[in-house]
Amino acid sequence: MGFFKGILRLFVESERMLVCNTFDQIIYIRAKSILAAEGIRHRTRISGSTGAADQRANIGGKIPVQYEIFVAEEDEARALKVLR
């Protein structure tokens, strides 16, 4: 049953709370490592790295990549505490 539950979690997002939203890759990596060290399960959504953004980079434009880190609702308070 655990295998199917894992697959279901990939496609159906449970109640997740946003705890970090940044455009800076360094801040994103630090936040992820802090959450991992505390044993807080988290998910990441990275947006903005599309083909159109890559084409802008070839012309000399900046690629705006947004990093969002989500945790389960019951871990939100603890995650926010350790990230502060």
CA atoms within 13 A on the CB side of 26: 0
**CATH number of the domain where residue 50 is located:** 3.30.70.1370
Q: Which pLDDT does position 64 carry in this prediction? A: 80
| Residue 54 covered by a domain | yes
Q: How far apart are CA 75 and CA 27, in angstroms?
A: 20
Which range marks the domain in which residue 29 is found? 15-83
| Residue 3 covered by a domain | no
| Residue 4 covered by a domain | no
Q: What is the pTM of this model?
A: 0.72
Chunked mean pLDDT (size 10), the chain, 84 residues: 66 78 94 96 84 63 84 94 94
3-state secondary structure of 82: helix
Q: Are 40 and 78 in contact (CB under 8 A)?
A: yes
The domain tally of the chain equals 1
**DSSP state letters, 9-24:** HHHS--SEEEEEEES-
| Residue 7 covered by a domain | no
